[in-house]
Amino acid sequence: MYLTIKQMHIAFAAVSISLFAIRWLVALFRERWLKHSFFRVLPHLIDTLLLGCAIWLCVFLRQYPFVNDWLTAKVVGLVVYILLGYMAIKGGKSFSQKLVAGILSLLVAGYIVGVAITHNPLSWLALN
């Protein structure tokens, strides 16, 4: 059961990041497409399933944010990712603001993936 939920969490994370990248590019070049139900419903469904798997894993493994430093780093990174993602898709006032916010958001997503792999807040830097 654990491995199934873990694989689902990984898959939902990959789909979520991919959908963000698509939505970001659409926001940069074809903003009106964001009103399509695909872009309004699917990302929220995937993110809900991703969060549900994350909570299940925390409870099952008895590892919790603000107790385990690597999980705290993931949660803080997630908040930064969400804020930058909002700026990249909806909140940016100009093309350049959306561009920079999207790039930074994807970098933060990479940091979160590194933390998940290494179980270390240093993310990819912990792989020395």
pLDDT tens profile 66-84: 999 999 999 999 999 999 9
Domain range holding 60? 2-127
Is 24 buried (19+), middle (13-18) or exposed (0-12) by CB count in 10 A? buried
Give me 25's structure tokens.
């590019």
pLDDT at 33 over 90: no
Q: How many domains does the chain have?
A: 1
Q: How many C-beta neighbours within 10 Å does residue 116 have?
A: 18
pLDDT at 36 over 90: no
DSSP-derived 3-state class of residue 62: coil
- Both structure tokens of 68: 């385990």
Token pair, residue 30, equals 């074809």
Residue tagged 């399933």 (tokens):
49
